[in-house]
Amino acid sequence: METHDIEPEHWLAKTTPAATIVIFRRDPEGGAAQILMVERNASLKFAGGATVFPGGKVDPADRELAARIAGDGADIEDLAARVAAVRETLEETGLVVGIEGVVDGTIAAEARRMLISVGDLAQVLDAYGWRLAPERLVSFARWWPKHRTERIFDTRFYLADLGTGAVDIEVDATENRHLFWASAQGALDLAAQGLIKIIFPTRRNLERLAQFASFEDTRIHAEATPVDTISPFMEQRDGAAWLMIPDGLGYPVRGEPLESAQRG
């Protein structure tokens, strides 16, 4: 087998740090845990029309807040990504995760409106007497594609649990057009039927998540699995190019033919 990657100088300067969060709730019908999926507007340059997990890029204000709350020896980049995951979730969906304090549907809606207005999670925390609880987010993966033709995001993935999930979600019409709950396998089935579009990293992560029926099982798996940076690479198989990821990181399916892979 022949593999190909690209040298750092081709991608390092173009990399944007980002964060994504896989939000769980219990299935009201008693089936496998459901996760929140976001269908992005087709007009967006990156993953336009694709169904993904909530998230977005790490902003300077996220780093400032991370530096403010960081303890000795803290990983500021990881902490800033957790701040971004909390902020983007509230902004995109109206859900409050990774926060300690009084929250109900009315408060969450007010906080979301304030966040959209001021663009700074720190101000929202102060206004509502909330404390950031980044430890409530479970590290799951880190994806850093390094392809010349792609917009490059160094994305950290986290897990969070809503429990019963008796909450409202509301679409952010500027970037997203539809929010829905589905089990990981259910989302894969929708993609197989052509009802949603999923890009290569989302497909691999859904396949990994579909191995488990509950948030607790997924959390145990995540905490026992190394979070090494995943940079997909090309591999020749029987004369065909495949897009692959490394072994040993918890993924039951490591790749697919390049011609069928949706990369953004």
Q: What's the mean pLDDT in 1-13? A: 47
Instruction: For strands 138-143 and 153-161, give the pairing.
Output: antiparallel
CB contact set of 223 (below 8 Å; sequence gap of 6+)? 138
Picking from 119, 195, 209, the residue whose alpha carbon sits closest to that of residue 157 is: 209
- The two tokens of residue 92 are 């995109």
Helix ranges, 11-160 (H):
60-69, 76-93, 105-118, 121-128
Residue 4 has pLDDT above 60, yes or no: no
Q: What's the mean pLDDT in 68-95? A: 92
Residue 134 in contact with residue 19, Cβ under 8 Å? Answer: no
In degrees rounded to 5, what are phi and psi of residue 251?
Answer: -95, 125
- The two tokens of residue 111 are 């906080």
Give the residue carrying structure tokens 């790490």. 58
Q: Does an H or E element contain 221, and which? A: helix 215-224
Q: State pLDDT tens for residues 54-72.
A: 999 999 999 999 999 988 8
Of the chain, the percentage scoring pLDDT greater than 70 comes to 84
Residue 87 has pLDDT above 90, yes or no: yes
Q: What's the mean pLDDT in 10-30? A: 84
Predicted confidence band at 261 (pLDDT cuts at 50, 70, 90)? confident
- Give pLDDT, residue 168: 53
Give the residue carrying structure tokens 């160094």. 154
Domains and CATH numbers, the chain: 8-229 (3.90.79.10)
Of the chain, the percentage scoring pLDDT greater than 90 comes to 67
Q: State pLDDT tens for residues 97-118.
A: 999 999 888 898 999 999 999 9
Residue 98 in contact with residue 134, Cβ under 8 Å? Answer: yes
Residue 120's SS3 state is: coil
- Give pLDDT, residue 49: 75
Predicted confidence band at 28 (pLDDT cuts at 50, 70, 90)? confident
Q: State pLDDT tens for residues 214-255.
A: 999 999 999 999 999 999 999 998 889 999 999 999 999 999
- Give pLDDT, residue 146: 73
Helical axes 60-69 vs 121-128, angle rounded to 10°: 50
Predicted confidence band at 170 (pLDDT cuts at 50, 70, 90)? low
**Confidence (pTM):** 0.87
Q: Quickly count: other Cβ atoms within 10 Å of residue 129's Cβ.
A: 9
Instruction: Say which residue, 177 or 80, is predicted with more confidence.
Output: 80
CA geometry: angle at 17 spanning 8 and 143, to 5°?
70
CA geometry: angle at 153 spanning 120 and 158, to 5°?
65
The amino acid that residue 33 corresponds to is A
Q: How far apart are CA 146 and CA 144, in angstroms?
A: 6
- Give pLDDT, residue 149: 53
Q: Quickly count: other Cβ atoms within 10 Å of residue 169's Cβ.
A: 16
Q: What's the mean pLDDT in 75-95? A: 94
CB contact set of 195 (below 8 Å; sequence gap of 6+)? none
DSSP string, 148-172: TTS--EEEEEEEEE-TT--------
Residue 84 in contact with residue 59, Cβ under 8 Å? Answer: yes
